Amino acid sequence: MTPAGGAYDAVIIGGGHNGLVCAAMLGRSGKRVVIVEAASKLGGAATSGEFAPGFTVSSCAHILNQLHPKVSRALDLSRHGLKLSTARMGTIALAPGGRHLTFEGALMVNEAVNGAGEVLSQRDLSSLSRLRRRLLRFAGLLHDFQATVPPRLDATSWRDGLGLARLGWAVRRLGRDDMRELLRIAGSNIADVLNDELDSDLLKGAIGLDAVLGTGLGPRSPNSVFTLLYRLSGRVGGVPGALALPEGGMGAVTDAMAAAAKANRVDIRTACPVKSIVVEEDRAVGVELESGEVIRAHAVVSNADAKTTCLDLLGARHLDTGFVRRVKGIRARGTAAKLHLALDGLPRFSGLEARDLGRRLLIAPSLDYVELAFNPCKYGEYSPAPAMEITIPSIHDTSLAPPGKHVLSAVVQYAPYDLKGGWQAAKDGFMDRIMDILSAYAPDLADRVVARELLTPEDLEQRHRLPGGHWHHGELALDQLYMMRPVAGAAQYAAPVPGLYLCGAGSHPGGGVMGAAGMNAAAQVIKGGKQS
Amino acid sequence: MIQPQPYEVQVLETPFHSRTAELCKTNEWSTWSGYTTPDVYTNMELEYFAARNTATLFDISPMTKYAITGPDAGRYLDRLLTRDMAKVNPGRVAYGLWCNDAGMVIDDGTVFCLGENDYRLCSQERHLPWLLDSAIGYEVAIEDITAGIAAVSLQGPTSCAVLKAMGFVGIEELKPYAHAEFQLGGHPLMISRTGFTGDLGYELWIEPAGAGELWDRLMEGGRLHGIRPLGSKALDMTRIEAGFIQAGVEFFPGDLSTRPDRLRSPFEIGMGWLVDFEKGHFIGRRALLREKQTGSRHALVGLDIAGNKPAHHSFIFQGRNKEVGIVTSALWSPTCKRNIALASLRTPYDKAHGLWADVYVHREQKWERIKAPCRVVDKQFFNPPRRWATPAGDR
Ligand SMILES: Cc1cc2nc3c(=O)[nH]c(=O)nc-3n(C[C@H](O)[C@H](O)[C@H](O)COP(=O)(O)OP(=O)(O)OC[C@H]3O[C@@H](n4cnc5c(N)ncnc54)[C@H](O)[C@@H]3O)c2cc1C
């Protein structure tokens, strides 16, 4: 299939949100683009799905906190139908005894505390506000770099040098004290930082969980400060660190992106898995679908992860060994499971009113709790007492469940991708443990469940072609970031084979429903792979 | 006597050790890929002259050998090596080299095509991790078979006569870079017309159990043809005369280096003729194409240096004092009667204008500095017609 008048300018492998953003951006610049998505539905890990009759939920990503403002502005997503059911979701850190800690707004953003539950000491309140301001300054720096193309690691051109200088300058501009502090904590672990500053276990547990959601880290793992900053780098309506829910679930975001793409003449084809990337004369010239059909294009852009793209779709034979080694070494071991419950009514959480349940509920009563949940994961076992990030989006959005009924969506950690003995045998046991933990906070919850779905990283990999079931297509670790994301030699979105580009979460800046990787990649495709 | 524990013994012995140890009178040994091998058996000059005038035996068992087999073996070697392997048929041996992503040489070696989908790669250094990682996506098995094969190199003008005396009928018809199968004492024996001295010569490959007998039969067959064991020092003289490059000397193996700027591309060590851009992708191709367009940084040249003092490790200067490179190997060549060297020069260098080697000679508590003028010449200083003639001479 080709558009009238010859080959496409670009074929995009995968209609995840980054593929959609990339396609729409290319379309906007006048390119003729086609998306080929393996699944029957667009969105990748940013979709909504009906998991029980009448009950719809965000299948993977459930909180919108990182969508890059440049992306939503450029694609005018609200015009294309994106609405938020809440833009200021609060957070409640659940305490086993019912003295919960409530935030009016997103964690870290609003320190006003609801008088009913746990009350923070004056010391914690002022430490928190200081810590929050500082972390948000650092996160702001990340935010700025998320929309830029990283320089090359072997910095040979003056542009690469400039890119590095820009990074150095941005850090320097924080001022002496902040710069020192950033360099001190950047590679450090969140538990140490929190223990230095705060007393409340509940508070530290909640921030600690935010730092490690979707990562292969525990709060005492090095790098967990960075992952917190990464999470805080997002903005909703200009408010840093804020949390939002899209109306209709995460699929609404990718629906709006698809609408923006279509408005820019992008052709979209679903249920079209790509079998291989066609290379002629050392240039990517198109894709071959599983069906045997070949779609030719001047550029091939892959939303799939780098390992799949380079080793399976392209093939190592087109690549050099050092590069293949780096790609093979990308770490993407998912540790987060996703729980969906269909409820025939709102459950009662001890110590909470019904109106509180519209907030994000965290089960992470202390740093130790989260770290203890993490320990078994290191050895290929699931947490007997997992930490959770829970939302009941149907409170904000009645379209998700039949009248009076609700859906609960939770990220559950830790559930290692490579579970010892395999998930088949263990899944029911893990489900029981999760229900036990939930029931301790909401005794009537189990009785309200009419349907349930637990997606392990293995399930996520199979359903969404997410490598290792990992949120980011590759761990957000210091050795897999920026000029080394996904690997050195492809960190400017161009793969070593001319004409092939990467635009997914595995590329800079990383995952989360952000769209920056897709946007940056589009800019590089337009430049024809030449360095920024 | 204190018996060393096995783990304290830091060297391996080759299958010829019982023979070489008996013959090595100087007790000068070095380790080569973990094996102990003689530097000099009796006298370096005698050994060198035997290589050039009669015949020598050199134990090459430590040479790293990989069996490369499977349906993709040929395609795999085409990916690995810079040269076109399609033309290398069963019965043939090809010299080649391979590069890293940056197009910098990792090592050179010989590939024996033993049959369809059946190759043997021989190199100086060990490279299994690189070879295995290069095989990702290929149906090919790679096995280090170094210890499973004993090999000895028979080199020199009388080498063919020695083999004939041993009864290898028709050996004179074996062409350069060809190999053939024979039998010796119930063991299969492969003989290839290959070597590292730049002269007529053969390499003989046998299972370790047959090594002792092979050595003895060679020494016996060569008795009337002036055969002698050759140490690595005399071998080095011959390979410099032949203009052969050596890993660790003319280039640094790319997978062992920590300083990427010290490496050399094939073009930079005079091996551009081994790079085939037409055959499809191979490791380092994109970088080498770029180099082809933008130019190389170095050139490996042969030098004819005034005087008779070998210019070991000398800087090469141009004009008054512009340093343009270094000598990698140097020798007063007894056969060519020239003071020769291989040198790595930065490009572009000016052939016409006064290159000189800065030679230091230490004599009895005194350093003398010689500014020896030199000329860039063909680096095959020694290349006799008998090396290439078929049938081979058997006087
Ligand atoms: C359980 C879970 C919870 C999460 N929670 C949040 C959250 O709350 N907030 C948040 O911001 N982020 C969250 N994330 C992360 C976020 O969902 C991802 O980082 C993001 O969706 C990745 O987007 P992407 O477009 O880069 O890649 P993907 O969404 O993975 O898209 C890649 C697309 O390529 C397609 N594809 C792959 N191979 C082929 C092929 N051969 N042919 C054709 N198509 C192919 C796939 O089918 C897929 O559609 C969560 C992730 C998970 C797994």
Report which of B48, B49, B53 is spatially closest to residue B395, judged by C-alpha positions.
Answer: B53
Given a contact cutoff of 8 angstroms between Cβ atoms, the answer to whether A162 and A256 are in contact is: no
Q: Give me the pLDDT at residue A160, please.
A: 79
CATH 2.40.30.110 residue ranges of chain B are: 297-395
* ipTM (interface pTM): 0.93
Of all protein residues, whose CA lies closest to atom 14 belonging to ligand 1? Answer: A61
Q: Is A469 helix (H, G, I), strand (E, B) or coil?
A: helix
Which chain B residue shows the shortest CA-CA distance from A498? B286
Q: Give me the pLDDT at residue B185, please.
A: 92
Mutate which of A20, A60, A66 to test ligand 1's pocket (most atoms within 8 Å of Cβ)?
Answer: A60
Binding-face residues of A in 247-286 toward B, CB within 8 A: 282
Put simply, whether A496 touches B (Cβ < 8 Å) is yes
| Token duo for residue B303 | 């030098």
Give the best residue of B133, B138, B285 to mutate against chain A (max A CB count within 10 A): B133
| Token duo for residue A288 | 């071959």
Res A501 pLDDT > 80: yes
What does the alpha-carbon distance between residue A443 and residue A7 come to, in Å, rounded to a whole number? 60
CATH superfamily of B6-61+149-230: Probable tRNA modification gtpase trme; domain 1 (3.30.1360.120)
Q: Give me the pLDDT at residue A115, please.
A: 53
B79 and A318 in contact by Cβ < 8 A? no
Q: List phi, psi (to 5°) of B147.
A: -75, -15
Q: Which atom of ligand 1 is nearest to the CA of A389?
A: 8
Q: Give me the pLDDT at residue A532, please.
A: 39
Put simply, whether A489 touches B (Cβ < 8 Å) is yes
What does the alpha-carbon distance between residue A261 and residue A21 come to, in Å, rounded to a whole number? 7
Q: Which atom of ligand 1 is nearest to the CA of A503?
A: 26
Q: Give me the pLDDT at residue A186, please.
A: 86
Q: Give me the pLDDT at residue B9, please.
A: 77
Report which of B171, B64, B170 is spatially closest to residue B120, judged by C-alpha positions.
Answer: B64
Alpha helices (runs of H) in A147-277, residue ranges in sequence order: 158-172, 176-185, 190-197, 201-212, 224-232, 251-263
- CB count in 10 Å sphere of residue A462: 12
Given a contact cutoff of 8 angstroms between Cβ atoms, the answer to whether A297 and B123 are in contact is: no
Per residue in B202-223, pLDDT (tens digit) is: 999 999 999 999 999 999 999 9
Whether CATH 3.50.50.60 fits A8-47+250-330+486-527: yes
Q: For residue B262, what are the CA distances in angstroms to A5, A384, A508?
A: 51, 54, 31
Of all protein residues, whose CA lies closest to atom 21 belonging to ligand 1? Answer: A45
pLDDT confidence tier of residue A118, bands split at 50, 70 and 90: confident
Q: Give me the pLDDT at residue A531, please.
A: 42
- Please, what is the angle between helix A190-197 and helix A224-232, to 10°? 80
pLDDT confidence tier of residue A164, bands split at 50, 70 and 90: confident
Long-range pairs for A78-83: beta carbons < 8 A, 24 or more residues apart: A78/A256, A80/A256, A80/A257, A80/A259, A80/A260, A80/A263, A81/A252, A81/A255, A81/A256, A81/A259, A82/A246, A82/A252, A82/A253, A82/A255, A82/A256, A83/A246, A83/A247, A83/A248, A83/A252
Query: What is the pLDDT of chain A when averaged over all its residues?
Result: 93
Query: Between 2.40.30.110, 3.40.30.10, 3.90.245.10, 3.40.50.300, what CATH number should domain B297-395 receive?
Result: 2.40.30.110
A496 and B79 in contact by Cβ < 8 A? no
A322 and B100 in contact by Cβ < 8 A? yes
Average pLDDT over residues A460-478: 95
Query: Per residue of chain B (395 residues), what is the pLDDT tens digit?
Result: 678 887 887 889 999 999 999 999 999 999 999 999 999 999 999 999 999 999 999 999 999 999 999 999 999 999 999 999 998 999 999 999 999 999 999 999 999 999 999 999 999 889 999 999 999 999 999 999 999 999 999 999 999 999 999 999 999 999 999 999 999 999 999 999 999 999 999 999 999 999 999 999 999 999 999 999 999 999 999 999 999 999 999 999 988 888 888 999 999 999 999 999 999 999 999 999 999 999 999 999 999 999 999 999 999 999 888 999 999 999 999 999 999 999 999 998 877 678 999 999 998 999 999 999 999 999 999 999 999 999 999 86
Q: Give me the pLDDT at residue B7, please.
A: 80
What does the alpha-carbon distance between residue B192 and residue B169 come to, in Å, rounded to a whole number? 14
Mutate which of A250, A257, A513 to test ligand 1's pocket (most atoms within 8 Å of Cβ)?
Answer: A513
Q: What is the 3-state secondary structure (H, E, C) of A483-502?
A: HHCCCCCCCCCECCCCCEEE
pTM, full prediction: 0.94
Query: Of residues A406 and A187, which shows the higher confidence score?
Result: A406
CATH 3.30.1360.120 residue ranges of chain B are: 6-61+149-230
Put simply, whether A317 touches B (Cβ < 8 Å) is yes
